[in-house]
Chains A and B, each alone.
Chain A
Amino acid sequence: MGADIETFYDVIRRQGVTRRSFVKFCSLTATSLGLGSMGASTIAHALETKPRVPVIWLHGLECTCCSESFIRSAHPLVKDVVLSMISLDYDDTIMAAAGHQAEAILAETKAKYKGRYILAVEGNPPLNEDGMYCIVGGQPFVEKLKWMAADAAAIIAWGTCASWGCVQAARPNPTRATPIDGVIKDKPIIKVPGCPPIAEVMTAVVTYVITFGHLPELDRQGRPKMFYSQRIHDKCYRRAHFDAGQFVEAWDDEGARKGYCLYKMGCRGPTTYNACSTVRWNNGVSYPIQSGHPCIGCAEDNFWDKGPFYSRLTNIKQFGIEKNADTVGMAAAGVVGAAVVAHAAVTAAKRVARGRNGNGSSNDKQTG
């Protein structure tokens, strides 16, 4: 099974590790995991026989920022992921093959590793006009996606495009761009949202899947819990200023200089599930809030339509532009308040005009 794909053992040996070191590694790992006397040989056997997992990486409507993020992974280095951990059989933006040669790989992988390959999807398919808004290799992307998904073991939906829809699905969504789970219903889908997702989150998800042979635990939304179970707000280093009530009120004010909470500048940290405030970006250097800019919630559903980015309250489109819950609510309360005052005035005027008993309780009052 999969004999012509390199096993992990092959990879380890190719990188210059001796057989002796390999066996020592297996023993040490088995010991430290407390696996018992047969553990070492079980691990060695698994590494010697388990082939690298074939991964097909498709690109639909997207901007390639997910790939750009992925190739910057530092822990693990992306070269280790691509060259040693997985067998990246197809990725049209970075592969050497082109044209018919490239497309032939899809059919080959689909047939050869039926039900065993991972389908990683960057971007999403547009459904309007039979998918004609996104043609890859002479075929609508939505058809290619369905075709490749049919025999995949699992699907990784890279980024907000594949997970939620992102910018191409923003109102009015002319091409009817649809996230992966809107098209593929019968396969396990793991959503890794973010625009782009954090590099280390991407490689960690791949690492997890190939190490354990199954998907990590997912939340209700289909995101891996290990990276998306807490909000940016929950681990934000500016959280103390939030609880204290110390906010940036303008971009150049004292609060901005002191690094106060960006809540009032529209920070979406309290509504955004991602690992930015713990894993951070660019090899752990920083993340948007750390550099003084509020989170725009790029890992959340429909975040482009939750504008303005720099306002705490979201505009409610149904009431026209630039109207948020407070303006709508205050207007409603104002109208009702004015109506009540007018109604009270009419009631009072009528009572004055008709006398105290003229309201209908007739002329014989019992409890006077």
Chain B
Amino acid sequence: MPEAASLIAADAVGTDSEAACGVVYVYEAPVRFWHWINALAILVLGVTGYFIGRGIPTMPGEASANFLFGYIRFAHFAAGYILTVGFLLRIYWAFVGKPHAAQIFYVPVWRKSWWSEVWQEILWYAFVVKRPKKYVGHNPLAQLVMFVMYTLITVFMIVTGFALYSQGEGSDSWQHKLFGWVFAIWPDSQDVRTWHHLGLWVIVVFAIIHIYSSIREDIASRQTIVSTMISGERIFRDDQRD
């Protein structure tokens, strides 16, 4: 689309509907790269975390011949570091990238139109509204869910995760200095474990919703969704304003 370039200039998150036609380059390479690395890290964290929480079937032979639980924990910690570093870089990119890169980090609760559009999206998902609105970035409902179930939970998991990790590293470690305050809230770390484990399930639920709605929107809405996270380009299927 020739007019796409000029539309990008007008592309601010608040005025999505004006820009939403043709092809819009919305997710820059760092965002896409982060998304898939992050997805992989979450997958590893989720599977290993589940086994750390429950234990694994007993290994045969001598203890000296096995280190499986150690490897599972190592994978969990390594993936945790990757997720954390990725998250920090992603926050950096929210400032220097396109406005849409910042969308998952806030919810514009002060904007009245945003609330009405959240309602519109709920009606769309409830099969009441027949025609969805177009968005360059996340639709308001997606933004809300992303913020609560992804961003906040990720922060929670990073904080509680490093707090638990600091127990093994010792009270002199930087992890304990930075995250030991968690134990002022829950003096018994068994509580922190329980909450951290519940956090895993929130992320599982988020993943189900996220994958389902991405595919559904890709099929039923007026723009591409899944391929956008691969190519970075949002392709709109019609040029109508609303």
Indicate whether A and B interact: yes
B198 and A325 contacting across the interface, CB-CB below 8 Å? yes
Contact partner of A359 among B55, B69, B131, B204, CB < 8 A?
B131
Contact A244-B237, Cβ < 8 Å, known A329-B198, A329-B204: no
Residues of B within 8 A of A301 (CB): 186-188
For B197, the closest partner residue in chain A by CB is: A325
Indicate whether A249 sits within 8 Å of B127 (C-beta atoms), given known contacts A306-B190, A365-B237.
no
| 8 A Cβ contacts from A209-250 to B | 219-221, 225, 229-231, 234, 240-247, 249
Chain A positions 291-327 with a Cβ under 8 Å from a chain B Cβ = 297, 300-303, 306, 312-314, 316, 324-326
Stretch at the interface among A40-48, A78-86, A124-132, A340-348: A340-348
Please measure, in the bound complex, the distance between the C-alpha atom of A326 and the C-alpha atom of B191, giving whole angstroms: 14
Given the complex of chains A and B, what is the CA–CA distance between A260 and B55 in angstroms?
13
- Residue A59 is within 8 A (CB to CB) of chain B in the complex: no
B178: interface (CB < 8 Å) = no
- CB-CB under 8 A from B239, the residues of chain A are 366
Candidate in A246, A270, A271 with the most chain B CB atoms within 10 angstroms: A246
B237, A367: Cβ atoms closer than 8 Å? yes
Chain A residues, Cβ within 8 Å of B2: none
Interface string of B128-155 (1 = CB under 8 A from A): 0011100000000000000000000000
Whether A97 sits at the interface, judged by CB under 8 Å, is no
Is B122's beta carbon under 8 Å from chain A? no
Report the contact-size class of chain A (Cβ under 8 Å from the partner): 35 or more
Say whether B29 faces chain A, with CB atoms less than 8 Å apart.
no
Q: Report chain B residues within 8 Å CB of A164.
A: 187
Q: Does A183 contact B (CB under 8 A)?
A: no
Are B58 and A245 interface neighbours, CB within 8 A?
A: yes
Q: Which residues of A contact B130 (CB under 8 A)?
A: 359-360
Say if the beta carbon of A263 comes within 8 Å of chain B.
Answer: yes
For B184, the chain A residues whose CB sits under 8 A away are 220
Question: Is A37 an interface residue when CB atoms closer than 8 A count as contact?
Answer: no
Q: Is A14 an interface residue (CB 8 A)?
A: no
A-B contact number at CB 8 A: 168
Report the minimal beta-carbon distance from B19 to chain A, rounded to whole angstroms: 15
Residues of B close to A13: CB separation below 8 A: none
Query: Which positions 178-235 of chain A face chain B at CB distance < 8 Å?
Result: 219-221, 225, 229-231, 234
With both chains docked as a complex, state the minimum distance between the C-beta of B178 and any C-beta of chain A, in angstroms.
Answer: 13
Cβ-closest chain B residue relative to A264: B55
Chain A residues positioned under 8 Å from B240 (CB to CB): 362
CB–CB A234/B197 < 8 A: no
Using Cβ atoms and an 8 Å threshold, which residues of chain A touch B174? none
In the complex, chain A residues whose CB is within 8 Å of the CB of B193: 271, 314
List the B side residues contacting A241 at CB < 8 Å: 63
- Which of chain B's residues have a CB closer than 8 A to the CB of A364? 238
On whether A240 and B63 interact (CB within 8 A), knowing A219-B171, A306-B190, the answer reads yes
Closest to B124 in A: A360
Binds A, one of B35-43, B94-102, B208-216: B208-216
With a cutoff of 8 Å between Cβ atoms, the chain B residues found around residue A243 in the complex are: 63, 66-67, 69-70, 73
Q: How far in angstroms is the closest Cβ of chain A from B175?
A: 14
Decide: A359 and B220 in contact? CB cutoff 8 A: yes
* B188, A244: Cβ atoms closer than 8 Å: no
Contacts of A340 in B (CB 8 A): 208-209, 212
Q: How far is the CA of A350 from the CA of B50 in the complex (A)?
A: 38
- B171 A229 Cβ-Cβ under 8 A: yes
Question: Can you list 24 A-B pairs with a CB-CB distance of less than 8 A?
Answer: A219-B171, A243-B69, A245-B57, A245-B59, A245-B66, A245-B67, A245-B69, A264-B55, A297-B190, A300-B187, A303-B190, A312-B55, A329-B201, A329-B202, A329-B205, A332-B205, A343-B125, A359-B131, A359-B220, A359-B221, A360-B131, A361-B131, A361-B237, A362-B238
Q: A244-B66, A340-B208 are in contact. List 15 more A-B contacts (CB 8 A).
A: A229-B170, A243-B69, A244-B59, A245-B57, A245-B58, A245-B70, A246-B59, A263-B55, A297-B190, A314-B190, A336-B208, A351-B219, A359-B131, A360-B130, A361-B237
Q: Which residues of A approach B to under 8 Å, CB–CB?
A: 164, 219-221, 225, 229-231, 234, 240-247, 249, 255, 260, 263-264, 268, 270-271, 297, 300-303, 306, 312-314, 316, 324-326, 328-330, 332-333, 336-337, 340, 343-344, 346-347, 350-351, 359-362, 364-368
